[in-house]
Amino acid sequence: MRKYLRTLALLFTVPAMAQTPTAQLELEKKFDGLIDAKHIGENIRLLSAKPHAIGSAQGKLVAEQILAQFKSYGWDAKIETYHVLFPTPKERVLELTGPVKYKAVLREPVLKEDGTSGQDGQLPTYNAWSADGDVEAELVYVNFGLPADYEQLEKLGVDVKGKIVIARYGRSWRGIKPKIAQEHGAIGCIIYADPKEDGYYQGEVYPKGPYKNEFGVQRGSVMDIVKYPGDPLTPGTASTENAQRLDRLNAPNLLKIPVLPISAHDAKPLLAALEGAVPPPDWRGAFPFTYHVGPGKTKVHLKVAFNWDIKPAYNVIATLKGSQYPDQWVIRGNHHDAWVNGAADPISGLASLLEEAKAIGELAKSGHQFKRTLVYCAWDGEEPGLLGSTEWVEDHQAELQQKTVAYINTDGNGRGFLEAGGSHALEGLVGDIAKHVQDPQTKVSVWERSKAQLVANAASVKTKKELLARESVKLGALGSGSDYSTFLQHAGIPVLNLAFGGEDEAGEYHSIYDSYDMFVRFKDPGFAYGVTLSQVAGRSAIRLADADLLPFDFRKLHKTINGYVGELQAVLETERENTQVENQLVGSNVYRLAADPKEKVALPVAKDEVPYLDFSPLQNALNGLDKAAARIADTVAKQGGSPVLNKALYQAEQQLLTQQGLPRRDWYKHTIYAPGFYTGYGVKTLPGIREAIEQRNWKEAQEQIGIVSAAVNKLTSYLNQIL
Amino acid sequence: MRKYLRTLALLFTVPAMAQTPTAQLELEKKFDGLIDAKHIGENIRLLSAKPHAIGSAQGKLVAEQILAQFKSYGWDAKIETYHVLFPTPKERVLELTGPVKYKAVLREPVLKEDGTSGQDGQLPTYNAWSADGDVEAELVYVNFGLPADYEQLEKLGVDVKGKIVIARYGRSWRGIKPKIAQEHGAIGCIIYADPKEDGYYQGEVYPKGPYKNEFGVQRGSVMDIVKYPGDPLTPGTASTENAQRLDRLNAPNLLKIPVLPISAHDAKPLLAALEGAVPPPDWRGAFPFTYHVGPGKTKVHLKVAFNWDIKPAYNVIATLKGSQYPDQWVIRGNHHDAWVNGAADPISGLASLLEEAKAIGELAKSGHQFKRTLVYCAWDGEEPGLLGSTEWVEDHQAELQQKTVAYINTDGNGRGFLEAGGSHALEGLVGDIAKHVQDPQTKVSVWERSKAQLVANAASVKTKKELLARESVKLGALGSGSDYSTFLQHAGIPVLNLAFGGEDEAGEYHSIYDSYDMFVRFKDPGFAYGVTLSQVAGRSAIRLADADLLPFDFRKLHKTINGYVGELQAVLETERENTQVENQLVGSNVYRLAADPKEKVALPVAKDEVPYLDFSPLQNALNGLDKAAARIADTVAKQGGSPVLNKALYQAEQQLLTQQGLPRRDWYKHTIYAPGFYTGYGVKTLPGIREAIEQRNWKEAQEQIGIVSAAVNKLTSYLNQIL
């Protein structure tokens, strides 16, 4: 379910680590020679040939095809099966019952230009983990359905309690929208694609162009994965056949209200019928009428019911045992399940992964002995909530924490620029690789091209200048939305998440039009970036597999965390000044006098003042980490690696976990990275502190400074002990 | 034709001048008592009862009604007639000829909710001063038709030479759009109202709400008034009956290409038919399809022909002779001609003016003797290009420069906040009045309310804080778009331009729906702000008429000009840094590498570097002005006024004129204020310098610094001589 929000990484540089050895570069050249665009394309066509969601017969067939391919490449491969809850629709009804009648189509039409669009076996348009429900109520438009949107509704005097809300896709992960709606007392939630964000406003629509046509619908999970992902019935443990399961109705990350995603075509009559206040400009989409928020005479009837079945999730796990350090594992993964055909999501990433496996198999056959064990995985059930990967990590957690050097994730691919996120101690590795891999369109390195794009699109000349001075890739921080999540945020295993994109903008996401026909026209024609992704992700895997000294550099991590702390201090300072000035304006009646007396809009009220927080424990902790990281870097530069040292290095990130977990979501253990509680996929760095500040919970913010400081100190002590 | 762009005034304060005398305040209280909302409303109904454009029988009748009113209020009134060119349509055809056919409606429908919308005598929808023309060509969409839009088209490889362009209303004065189109070789220009700026995107459309419905059309002049306004055949001289006239085809401010304004309804099929590149997001309006720029198969046929008649322009001039200084004139004006019924534009302002005249007449009858002569004017022919006022000022220029204390303009009115612009030496006068007049909705002073609105809507907390510290009204600088222009920019006479607005947003402007029915529902229900405008503008007039010491404060002028110089230095500095960084990016191939190779978009090229300019002559000149202004203020505070001193004060602004005029438009003589050569109504302060910088003409910018410095020095010497 790739489509995470990109994070602007920060602007630091530290000296590069040791040069990549010549033998390694030669191996990588051979590796490149074994990557074949045509074969990647054939695999995309093969694996996206039919709808293959988790639990479907075709899904099983796809897992078996992948298994066979791994085996044919010389890998030791097997399927590990978990038994997970997965709802599919039994009934879906949405109708406008007043003042005019309209019955929603809830169906994407077959297109003659899209050969697979008329196939049997497609999952209907729905949001997995909606509750069963049959409700009829007045409709309220809630914009993107974010907390700030409900604040705006309150200003307009609109309460969604007992109402059905309609929110547009965008600005947050979709699951956040019904969650916040439910928190505000709504009894149902409709999510639609406004043509402003995802349709004709953006460009030509499918099949003429790549953007979403009026009937396109984004399926997707609305599980509250920011509490925990995986099977909702087995948080923290594996969904084995006989595992103890929660009662579904008590699962803390499942909604109590019905939710349904709909097309622009179906949303249009609903929104057109609304009356009530006209919301501010940033609430207005691209439909040709005046947007209103309701409520009023406009009533809708929403009825959804699901088959709540336990389904097998088939993770395909392929292993190539290491010659020197078989108990040090480099894991690489991409999911194989799709909402429908999934040519882009996930198959384009999976085809690159399989191509790497093929090349690695060839290298092994031709005599190269990889030092560490390579584990290549194709996950099932990612779409409904990272089911396959989460259950697998939860199942093998202790062993994985012992053995995993790093987990390298992909989740689809397209034409454009390198997008890389992950554990910042691995930033140097990705930076070096990005300088060695060529962009297929411009023939400069993918680093140079992605830097050019950052610079060219920066909002200010000041930022352009700063970015131009950047010397290497800055990794984005990772939130959630793909299979790296459990490795990183629950188990503290270093991860990377890699993709190309930015020149593949389209509207096929999670629709029946995410097809091979769409892919070859608009996403990665010729599969050139399929090759490039294999080159980057494959290099990451084989360098880690063969490195004498694992390329973890904690100076990069220190610089990054230090940057986050600076950000938070600035946020707090700004919020303090804003609060002070706004309270002054409230006190001096400015908003009352400026308001239009004919419009009933609630006025801003005074807020509690922002206290000064004590960041010194964290600043001192980071000072310690700085020294420890520098000492490690100096020492290993002189001494080189050793099996014990390497193990200590890759396990270091686990020190940043806090056993108590994040507030109100203890499955999430990482103190540096988490998805946002009210934003979803998008990352919140230093989440405990940052979200407390955002929620104006100053006490918790101070406590969390202590918790993060302790974690950083733990890492520092650990680093000081390993050498 | 009010609808000028507001300018954010600057943030300075200087000590207030002397207190307003008690007797004056008592007079103003009496004056207030004579202002009657009901009567204002009756006048709006009466004078907007039928379409009354210049040259129409009804126009003449309206002038006569105004004349009669002035006389009945005890004024000495007459009509001064000029003979001006005024084109009216003979033929208007717009059709899409390929690939599909569409014939434009070009007509606003009668609405049962709008009692005057079906009257005879309406001018059809057209742009006055379009050339006659019959052209057929491919269509190109040019966004707002600004210079930057043509730069974007060039990037997309689109040339408008020999094409017909379609531009949307907004972001510039309308006349700029065909002017720039013509400069780029277009052979025709269509201007339409996109629902994004002026229609359903903004809110409910008429008659349900106030915004423009799909058939509404904005008429208006496309004379190049930034070269010179008034009768295009008599630049700089009066259009008397036997005046020498230019050949129309040689008039330098008239277009050579045909232009036609159309409704959203008529624009929709044209834009929908376009193909070619999809332009960037800020080119996309609110039609429900993907916007394209063309050109291609989409061809249009545009045919317009006009009656190029000389028409009488009836200026109604009412005089109440001053008892002490009959040769010192306070002039107050608002135009009476309208594109159609013009309830808001201009009648709402005119009704306030007449109410002031009525009250002043009553005060005179009851024994009050105004010291100076009051001249109340109702101008004809403002809509096509400030014809009436310009010809009058050009006719009487020498006398007016001798006698005019100030010209106080209005041009329509609505509910909301005080909007005041003008000569900055009068800033203190307006500031004091704004503190004495009550806002009818909130009962605080209009100053307090307008300040609250500025503060509440400021973009940043920093700006809010600064604005909150503001102690009095800051006058906006004036560009063009109403009858103050010739007084100020050609003759150097101090002016004020006053209105209320901001809570009267609507789409009636220059359409048949600018009616009494619309006005009483959406613009100023109950005419409360009609009263308030009378109170502010009337006070301005009678204070200036009775002041022993005229309230000119050149310290305010100095501070303001000083602020403009700071702005220009900052602009230059920013442009220097931007140019340097952008050239570096061009040189290092950043834009080429970042560009999508599949899209043919021209890349940025290096620009000439920005030199350092010598601002010191201007800084020294301002330093001199600062001292002279302070000395004057000190001295008059001690000595009080005298007829000679007062005359010297009100004539001072003429020192800021430069006899050679602005580059390429020598009719404009003022060195501090002018409308923008490429923006229209919107002001450019220090226009000679600012526009040279904007055009990257560094040599001219330096020359203009010299010219402005000389003007400021001239003012300083003048001020040093009068005391």
- CATH code at position A284: 3.50.30.30
Q: Which CA distances in Å does B421 have to B9, B256, B409, B689?
A: 9, 34, 10, 21
At B535, the amino acid letter reads Q
Cβ A578–B461 below 8 Å, yes or no?
A: yes
DSSP letter, residue A445: B
Give the distance from CA B459 to its chain's centroid: 24
Do residue A263 and residue A341 come from a single domain? no
User: Quick check: B591 and A452 CB within 8 A?
Assistant: yes
pLDDT above 80 (res A16): no
| A7 pLDDT above the threshold of 50 | no
User: Is the pLDDT score of B21 beyond 70?
Assistant: yes
A386/A492 same-domain check: yes
Q: Do B452 and A590 touch (CB under 8 A)?
A: yes
Give the pLDDT score at A18.
56
**Residue in chain B lying closest to A415 (CA):** B596
Distance from CA of B344 to the nearest CA of A (A): 20
Both A344 and A385 in one domain: the answer is yes
Domain span at A668:
554-722
B622: which residues sit within 8 A by CB, 6+ positions away?
B558, B561, B562, B565, B712
Contacts of A450 in chain B (CB under 8 A): none
Hey, are the CB atoms on A203 and B290 less than 8 Å from each other?
A: yes
Q: Sort out which chain B residues have CB atoms less than 8 A from A598's CB and list them.
A: 503
Q: Is A470 exposed, middle or buried (0-12, 13-18, 19+ CB in 10 A)?
A: middle
- pLDDT of res. B497: 98
Judgement on whether residues A293 and A315 belong to the same structural domain of the protein: no
Kindly state whether residues B522 and B611 are assigned to the same domain: no
Instruction: Measure CB to CB from residue A456 to each of B456, B465, B594 and give the nearest one.
Output: B594
Q: Identify the band that residue A12 occupies on the pLDDT scale cut at 50, 70 and 90.
A: very low
Q: In angstroms, what is the C-alpha Rg of chain B?
A: 25
Q: Summarize the confidence of residues B676-682 as an average pLDDT.
A: 89
Q: Within 10 Å of residue A285's Cβ, how many Cβ atoms?
A: 23
Domain boundary among B546, B571, B598: B546
Residues whose CB is less than 8 angstroms from the CB of residue A499 and which lie 6 or more positions away in sequence, other chains included? A2, A349, A410, A411, A412, A413, A414, A418, A419, A533
Chain B: closest CA distance from residue A309 (Å): 41
* Minimal C-alpha gap between B559 and chain A (Å): 27
Residue B600 confidence (pLDDT): 85
> Helix, strand, or coil here: B240?
coil
Q: Please, which residues have CB within 8 angstroms of residue A452's CB and are 6 or more apart in sequence?
A: A444, B589, B590, B591, B592, B593, B594
Mind telling me how many Å the CA of A289 is from chain B's nearest CA? Answer: 5
- Whether A547 shows a pLDDT value over 60: the answer reads yes
A325 shares its domain with A288: no
Q: Considering only alpha carbons, which residue of chain B is nearest residue A445?
A: B593
Residue linked to tokens 């009220």? A605
Chain B: closest CA distance from residue A604 (Å)? 10
Quick one: A103 and A227 in the same domain?
yes
The pLDDT, as a whole number, for residue A600 is 85
pLDDT at B716 (0 to 100): 98
The amino acid at A537 = A
Tell me if B457 and A594 make a contact (CB, 8 A cut-off). yes
B305 exposed, middle or buried (CB, 10 Å; 0-12, 13-18, 19+)? middle
- Which pair of structure tokens corresponds to residue B450? 């307008």
Residue B140 inside a domain? The answer is: yes
pLDDT band at B640 (very low <50, low <70, confident <90, very high): confident
Q: Mutating which of A593, A598, A607 best tests the B interface, going by the most B Cβ atoms within 10 A? A: A593
A153 lies in the same domain as A217: yes
pLDDT tier, B7 (very low <50, low <70, confident <90, very high otherwise): very low
* Chain B: closest CA distance from residue A204 (Å): 6
Residues 6+ apart with CB under 8 A from A30: A363
Hey, how many other C-beta atoms are within 10 angstroms of the C-beta on A23? 9
Q: What letter does residue B114 receive in the DSSP assignment?
A: S
B200 chain-A contacts, CB cut-off 8 A? 288-290
Any domain includes B524: yes
Q: Which of B406, B422, B402 is nearest to B557 (CA)?
A: B422
Substitution target from B415, B593, B601 for chain A, most A beta carbons within 10 A? B593
pLDDT for B579: 97
Residues of A in contact with B204 (CB under 8 A): 278, 290
**Residues B694, B686 contacting (CB under 8 angstroms):** no
Contact A444 B593 (CB under 8 A): yes
Whether A297 and A359 share a structural domain: no
Of the partner residues A200, A461, A591, the one whose CB lies closest to the CB of residue B578? A461
Task: Report the gap between the CA of A383 and the closest CA in chain B (Å).
Answer: 30
Residues of chain A found within 8 Å of residue B593, distances taken between Cβ atoms: 442, 444, 448-449, 452-453
Q: Which chain A residue's Cα is nearest to B417?
A: A594
Contacts of B267 in chain A (CB under 8 A): none
Q: How confident is the model at residue B12 (pLDDT cuts 50, 70, 90)?
A: very low
CB contact under 8 A, B448 and A593: yes
Of B290, B309, B328, which residue sits at a domain end? B309
| Pairwise CB contact (< 8 Å): A441 & B597 | yes
Minimal CA separation from A635 to chain B, in Å: 37
CA–CA separation, B183 vs B175, rounded Å?
Answer: 13
Q: Is A431 left (phi over 0), alpha (psi -120 to 50) or beta?
A: alpha
Percent of chain B whose predicted confidence (pLDDT) is above 90: 95
A578 contacts in B (CB within 8 Å)? 461
Quick one: pLDDT band at residue A1, thresholds 50, 70, 90?
A: low
Q: Please name the residue of chain A whose CA is at the shortest distance from the CA of residue B596.
A: A503
CB A456 within 8 Å of CB B590: yes
Question: Which of A573, A596, A561 lies closest to A693 in space, CA to CA?
Answer: A573
Confidence band of A34 (pLDDT split at 50, 70, 90) = very high
Single-letter residue type at A31: F
Q: What average pLDDT does the segment A121-138 reach?
A: 98
* Chain B residue whose CA is closest to A597: B441
Residues from chain A contacting residue B583 (CB–CB below 8 Å): none
Q: Hunting for tokens 């040189």 — which residue is that?
A: B587
CATH number for the domain spanning B675: value is 1.20.930.40
* Model pLDDT, residue A10: 34
Q: How far is A598 from chain B (nearest CA, A)?
A: 9
Last residue of a domain, one of B514, B546, B578: B546
Q: What is the pLDDT of residue B14?
A: 40
User: For A594, which of B452, B593, B597 is closest by C-beta distance?
Assistant: B452
Instruction: Characterize the bridge pairing of strands B416-422 and B495-502.
Output: antiparallel
Under DSSP, is residue A470 helix (H, G, I), strand (E, B) or coil? coil
Size of the A and B interface in Cβ pairs below 8 Å: 114
> Do B456 and A590 count as a contact with CB atoms less than 8 A apart?
yes
CB pair distance less than 8 Å for A577 and B441? no
pLDDT at A13 over 70: no
**Best CA proximity match to B226, nearest among B156, B288, B158, B179:** B179
Identify whether the C-beta of residue A309 lies closer than 8 Å to the C-beta of residue A88.
Answer: yes
Residue A483: which of A315, A245, A241, A236 has the closest Cα? Answer: A315
Mean pLDDT, chain B, integer: 96
Q: Which residues of chain B have a CB within 8 Å of the CB of A441?
A: 597
- Same domain (yes/no): A532, A590: no
B614 and B667 part of one domain: yes
In a domain, A502, yes or no: yes
Strand pairing report for B495-502 and B673-676: unpaired
User: Does B2 map to a domain?
Assistant: no
If asked whether residues A195 and A239 sit together in one domain, one would say: yes
CB contact under 8 A, A201 and B290: yes
- Residue A14, pLDDT score: 40
Please tell me the distance in Å from A474's CA to the nearest CA on chain B.
17
Look at A585 and B464 and tell me if their CB atoms are within 8 Å. yes
We report the CATH number of the domain holding residue B405 as 3.40.630.10
d(CA B681, CA B677): 9
Across all residues in chain A, what is the average pLDDT?
Answer: 96
Number of domains chain A is built from: 3
| Backbone angles phi and psi of B234, in degrees to 5 | -135, 60
* Residue numbers in A near B588 (CB within 8 A): 468
Could you tell me if residue B232 is inside a domain?
Answer: yes
Of B510, B126, B413, B104, the closest CA to residue B271 belongs to: B104
What residues of chain B lie within 8 A of the CB of A448, using their CB?
Answer: 593
Reported pTM: 0.95
Report the residue of chain A nearest B268, measured CA to CA: A288
How confident is the model over A402-421, as pLDDT tens digits? 999 999 999 999 999 999 99
Task: Tell me whether residues A205 and B278 touch, CB distance under 8 A.
Answer: no
pLDDT in tens, A257-301: 999 999 999 999 999 999 999 999 999 999 999 999 999 999 999
Q: Is A579 inside a domain boundary?
A: yes
A288·B195 Cβ contact <8 A: yes
One-letter amino acid at A387 equals L
Average pLDDT over residues B233-259: 97
Asked if residue B10 belongs to a domain, the reply is no
- Residues in A closer than 8 angstroms to B196, CB to CB, are none
Closest to A593 (Cβ–Cβ): which among B444, B588, B595? B444
pLDDT of residue B18: 56
Instruction: List chain B residues with CB under 8 Å of A452.
Output: 589-594
Q: Give the number of other CB atoms < 10 A from CB of residue A113.
A: 13
Closest partner residue to B593 among A211, A448, A595, by Cβ?
A448
Interchain proximity A452–B578, CB inside 8 Å: no
pLDDT above 70: residue B1: no
In a domain, B566, yes or no: yes
The number of residues making up chain A comes to 723
